[in-house]
Structure 1
Amino acid sequence: MIPRALRGGVMPAPVWVGLLPLAALLSLSSGLCPPRCVCDDTALQADCSGAQLDSFPISLNPRLRTLLLAKNGILRLDRSMMVSSYKELEHLNLSDNGLESVEPGSFAQQGRLHELRLGNNRLAQLEGSELQGLLQLRVLDLSGNQLQELPAGLLEPVSLLEELNLADNQLQWLPAASVAGVVSLRRLRLADNQLQQLPAAALAQLPQLLSLDLSFNQLRRLRAGELAQTRAGLVQLNLEGNRLEQLEEGAFDGLGQLRRLVLSHTGLRQLEGVLSASLTSLEELYLNRNPLSSLGAAPLRLVPGLRLLSVSSCHLLGSVDADAFSGSSSLEELLLEDNQQLSQLPSGVFLPPPRLRRLSLRGCALTSLPADVYPWRTVRADLSENPWRCDCELRWLAELPANVSTEGAVCSAPAPLQGHPVRELTVGQLGCESRSDAAEVALTVALPCVLASLTLALTAVLVWRSRRRLGKRLDVLGWRARLSLRRSKPPPPPVGATSTYYYRERFSSGGDGSGRLVPVTEL
């Protein structure tokens, strides 16, 4: 039964005033979402990215699991900001804030945090106890800061750490003590720092390391076996952007599990002595932007399991050996792009790899290609941005099936065809009609003569080879004796003529027996 006071649709003042404390309590339990934030209490997530916050928000749902605070103006993080109130937090992103300091103990209560991102801030120094309490941390991003060193003991509280990103800092060395305790680390990024030598001692503390990025540092030397001494079963190694003037032979010995090797922009002038036969699992090799003048056959035979090879933007590369890829039976992608000295390729150079599916020759100096360079019907090719000379020698390229991609390939010569798409060319435009007509006439006239000559020659050979068997058959049939008798008894001469021909014959017993010469007329 509805109370009389509510029948008219108006709640008495004492009733709704009494409900205010209950409403306030419910609001505090779910938190208050700041302006420009998107809060989802069902998913327990708050996205305040780019919300123009200047301090860490403390009024959000205390049961949050994901808190995104990137691209704000939070300059300082300390314990007083009630970071400890989010005890259920699993993902925290504070990147791109201009953050200058993190007070030790700020994460003391975040024992469930799995991922902490502090990248692209202004952190210049860490004391060593900033990560206390992060017992479940798996991912730590400190990239894009101003760190000159990593203090000893910093990572000891995060013994379960699997991924550490220290890229784009000012690290000049990485002591072994700075990574002590993180034996579970699998991925380490040290790109864009100032390392002058391989931190072998630190790497030796990471037996589970699979991926190592040392790109764009100042490494100038890599000793033989130095990487193998780290005891890591590396799968990916990136050395791009270093000036490896002393890359000793055998530098990659012992890396039998390596699948991806990046040696782009390292100053390599030749591949001989660089690759190792121990790279039995190597599948991807990048050699871009190196002063390589040629690509020989011997080096690539040491890594027969390659699936992707990229030799692009090598401004001195002018020749490729005809057998350069003869041992690459597993090759699926071959990129030879933007090599502006590469003006020709030998016949059959791409024929050996039976699995090749993608071939890019974009941006080279090719004016023509032999028709037998590769069976193009099975490969996706990019032949654009080359100065193709569209004459009859390029007829095969214009007749490729539609499944082969030559999009963007246009003619640069002769002048009437300049800019014309290669795939839209006709045989007549390539100047092949006169040649084909002459060839057809020549073939029509010459073919019968050739066939007749071959028939006569074959008959003569057969007769010559059968002459002995033919003679034996004549003896069996008595034809040879008859032929001899006819030769020994010529017709008698005319009457009154003097015989001048004789037949020499030795008579058997009972005859004259003298062996005299008898005139033919007396026989």
Structure 2
Amino acid sequence: MFEGTAVHHWLCRGALYLLAVGVTLTSETRQPCPQSCRCNTALLEVNCSDVQLSAVPIGLPQDAKLLNLTRNKIKTLVQQQFQSLTKLLHLDLSDNLLVIIEAEAFLGLQSLLTLHLARNHLKIITVGAFAGLTNLQILDISCNEILVFLDFTFRDLAALQFIKATDNDLVFISHQAFTGLTNVQQIHLDGCNLTAMPTGALTQLNSLRSLHFHRLSLTTLPNYSFHHLVRLKELCISHCPWLEVLSGNSLFGLNLTSLTIKHCNLSAVPYIPMHHLVYLVYLDFSFNPITSIHGNMLGDLLRLQELHLVGGSLLRIEIGAFRGLTHLKLLNVSRNHLTALEVGAFHSVDTLKTLGLDNNPLACDCRLLWVVRRHLNLDFGGHSPTCTQGWNFLGFSVAELPGLLTCRQPQILNHKRQEVKVDQGLTVALHCNAEGNPLPSISWLNPQLRPLPHIGRIQILPNGSLEVRYAQPQDSGTYLCVASNAAGNDSLAVSLHVRAFQSSSKNSFHLKGWFAFPSASPGMNGNQKLPFDVKTLLIATTIGFLSFLSSVSVCFIFMFFWSKGKGQIKHTATIAYVPRSAMSNSKGGTGNNMETSRFTMKLI
């Protein structure tokens, strides 16, 4: 038993000795921290920032996980600059003077997860510069002077998920620049000088889910700009002051949940490009000069929950503007020029939870009643709306509302039924004037009681009149003018009669039956008098003469250029002939002594 106890103590002592030796060896073999750096051995961090380094220091601890080289004067990264730091996870070289990164500069950093190269002076990234970074997930190359992304620039970054390339001087992205980025989820290309969408390069990003474009020189978003990005969920385009138009198929192929196009120059909501985005949840068109949201145009966006249009030029949101948006929870139209937001614009106000309506010149009338009645269930974002008289109408009591927020039903002036007659081919206007509070809107129905548009041959003018251009007999009928506002409507019937052309005997003559027309009626015979209008005959004669004259002119021009193409033209011709007397005298001879004569003719 004593021997067993002794063995036990001996083993314990040996273990303690080996442990002490191991610690000693570890501390002795650990590489010392470079003189200009600060090392944290517990966190395995090396901080060499802001110490005026002109090159990467040598002798860095090989077990370092984080290396901070920011705010120095490093200009070049040579080949295999960090090959001994195989365990490094994070490398930050921001705010240096980097101009050149040689190929394979990061070779050996197979564990690296993040690389920051922001705020340097890189103009181009050498192909192969990122070789060996097989596990890199985040790359920040923003705020450099990069002009172009060459083919296969990022081909070695198979695990990369996020690229931040904002505020560069990019003018071109090669079609194969993003080849190899099979797992990238998010790209920010902001503040570049791109004048066209790099559609060819984007086709390589099959896994992309978020794409940001800021401060680009785009004037239009062309068709099929993103049609290969089938997994893209978030598209953000902002601060593009020349972007005025989205082509009809510009968003084709996308299945977005979030779309932002703000601080641009859109003058209208791009309804057609968006109609297929049935999974869209978030939509932001803030800070665009959009003047109106039309009725029944957003119904395809079945799942839309948030709509932002802040700081625009909105004058009107029409009735039915949000019809079909059964999940709309947030509407922010603050800082516009709206005089009203009627309850009829919504599919249902019960789903609405947040309403931004401040900084609009709202009229103090009955169109605000629904806001007052629901204000306890609405969040106004801390900015209560006011109307033009400076009233905080949300503070009105129920008893005060009927006398303060009032409307007056429309009344059409000169309510007597109108009858208008016009000759075929002329233009006529049907007038309809109405008054009310708020000022009523005027619409017209055709004789079949269908609404008439604001464009076309028959159109509603801005003053409410109905214009019928080049009136035809089929336009005849009773048209209905409807004046409506939030308090009700009034109507007026206007009859239109269009007189058809009449055959006129004046200025016409008749030809007796030396014309036989195959299509003549059975009662027509050879002595039938056929009417011919003098004006029509003169026009037909003039057209025929002009046609003949133009044909002759073309022939002369063709002959002129053809003769010029033949070169020098001779104006004389010499003709040789044998006189009859010479022929008779030669009958007895050999015929070889026959005399010939010549004369010259001038060609005209």
Instruction: Note the alpha carbon deviations across 1:147-203, whole angstroms, 9 max, x for none.
Output: 101122221222222222222111112111212222222222212111122211111
CA contact (8 A) 1:188 1:211 kept: yes
Residues 27 and 118 from structure 1, CA distance in 2 versus in 1: closer, same or farther, beyond 3 angstroms? farther
Counterpart of 2:324 in structure 1 is: 327
2-structure distance, mates of 1:232, 1:272: 21
SS in 2 for 1:303: coil
SS in 2 for 1:370: helix
Instruction: Note the alpha carbon deviations across 1:117-173, whole angstroms, 9 max, x for none.
Output: 111211112221211211222221111110101122221222222222222111112
Aligned length: 378
1-structure distance, mates of 2:324, 2:238: 26
Alignment of 1:357 onto 2:360: no
1-structure distance, mates of 2:260, 2:403: 49
Counterpart of 2:64 in structure 1 is: 64
Moved more, 61-70 or 40-49: 40-49
Instruction: Note the alpha carbon deviations across 1:355-399, whole angstroms, 9 max, x for none.
Output: 3222222333336471213612222113638664668x7554355
Instruction: Note the alpha carbon deviations across 1:28-79, whole angstroms, 9 max, x for none.
Output: 6153265684x43223223445555554343443201122333344333335
What is the letter of the counterpart of residue 352 of structure 2? L
SS in 2 for 1:179: coil
Counterpart of 2:40 in structure 1 is: 40
Residues 292 and 63 from structure 1, CA distance in 2 versus in 1: closer, same or farther, beyond 3 angstroms? same
What is the letter of the counterpart of residue 100 of structure 2? S
2-structure distance, mates of 1:296, 1:140: 43
2-structure distance, mates of 1:434, 1:169: 59
Counterpart of 2:305 in structure 1 is: 307
Instruction: Note the alpha carbon deviations across 1:251-284, whole angstroms, 9 max, x for none.
Output: 223222x111111133211125444332011111
CA contact (8 A) 2:386 2:393 kept: no
2-structure distance, mates of 1:381, 1:364: 13
Residues 28 and 120 from structure 1, CA distance in 2 versus in 1: closer, same or farther, beyond 3 angstroms? farther
Alignment of 1:163 onto 2:162: yes
2-structure distance, mates of 1:395, 1:153: 62
Residues 182 and 358 from structure 1, CA distance in 2 versus in 1: closer, same or farther, beyond 3 angstroms? same
What is the letter of the counterpart of residue 78 of structure 1? V
Residues 388 and 71 from structure 1, CA distance in 2 versus in 1: closer, same or farther, beyond 3 angstroms? farther
What is the letter of the counterpart of residue 138 of structure 1? Q
What is the letter of the counterpart of residue 297 of structure 1? G
Question: What is the TM-score normalised by the length of structure 2?
Answer: 0.57
SS in 2 for 1:371: helix
Residues 397 and 49 from structure 1, CA distance in 2 versus in 1: closer, same or farther, beyond 3 angstroms? farther
Alignment of 1:254 onto 2:253: yes
Counterpart of 1:75 in structure 2 is: 75
Residues 327 and 125 from structure 1, CA distance in 2 versus in 1: closer, same or farther, beyond 3 angstroms? same
Residues 66 and 388 from structure 1, CA distance in 2 versus in 1: closer, same or farther, beyond 3 angstroms? same
Residues 351 and 205 from structure 1, CA distance in 2 versus in 1: closer, same or farther, beyond 3 angstroms? closer
Instruction: Note the alpha carbon deviations across 1:284-335, whole angstroms, 9 max, x for none.
Output: 1110111111122223212121121110111x21111232223222122222
Counterpart of 1:89 in structure 2 is: 88
Instruction: After TM superposition, list the pairs within 5 Å mapping 1:77-476 onto structure 2.
Output: 77-79=77-79, 83-228=82-227, 230-242=228-240, 243-256=242-255, 258-271=256-269, 273-314=271-312, 316-339=313-336, 341-347=337-343, 349=345, 352-366=348-362, 368=364, 370-373=368-371, 375-382=374-381, 384=383, 388=387, 396-398=394-396
2-structure distance, mates of 1:380, 1:47: 48
Residues 49 and 227 from structure 1, CA distance in 2 versus in 1: closer, same or farther, beyond 3 angstroms? same
2-structure distance, mates of 1:76, 1:284: 44
Instruction: After TM superposition, list the pairs within 5 Å mapping 1:462-501 onto structure 2.
Output: none
SS in 1 for 2:83: helix
1-structure distance, mates of 2:125, 2:322: 50
2-structure distance, mates of 1:138, 1:87: 16
Instruction: Note the alpha carbon deviations across 1:81-123, whole angstroms, 9 max, x for none.
Output: x522211111111122232222333211111112111112111
Residues 245 and 433 from structure 1, CA distance in 2 versus in 1: closer, same or farther, beyond 3 angstroms? closer
2-structure distance, mates of 1:61, 1:33: 8
SS in 2 for 1:239: strand
Counterpart of 1:408 in structure 2 is: none
Question: What is the TM-score normalised by the length of structure 1?
Answer: 0.65
2-structure distance, mates of 1:173, 1:330: 41
2-structure distance, mates of 1:152, 1:41: 41
What is the letter of the counterpart of residue 356 of structure 2? S
2-structure distance, mates of 1:434, 1:380: 24
1-structure distance, mates of 2:56, 2:148: 27
Counterpart of 2:407 in structure 1 is: none
Residues 385 and 107 from structure 1, CA distance in 2 versus in 1: closer, same or farther, beyond 3 angstroms? same
What is the letter of the counterpart of residue 292 of structure 1? I
Residues 32 and 286 from structure 1, CA distance in 2 versus in 1: closer, same or farther, beyond 3 angstroms? same
CA contact (8 A) 1:363 1:386 kept: yes
2-structure distance, mates of 1:33, 1:364: 62
2-structure distance, mates of 1:305, 1:351: 13
SS in 1 for 2:235: strand
SS in 1 for 2:27: helix
Percent identical across equivalent pairs? Answer: 24
Residues 395 and 206 from structure 1, CA distance in 2 versus in 1: closer, same or farther, beyond 3 angstroms? closer
From the two aligned structures, give the one with the greater strand fraction: 2
1-structure distance, mates of 2:401, 2:269: 46
Counterpart of 2:27 in structure 1 is: 26
CA contact (8 A) 2:295 2:345 kept: no
How far apart are residue 433 of structure 1 and its match? 12
What is the letter of the counterpart of residue 279 of structure 2? S
CA contact (8 A) 2:327 2:351 kept: yes
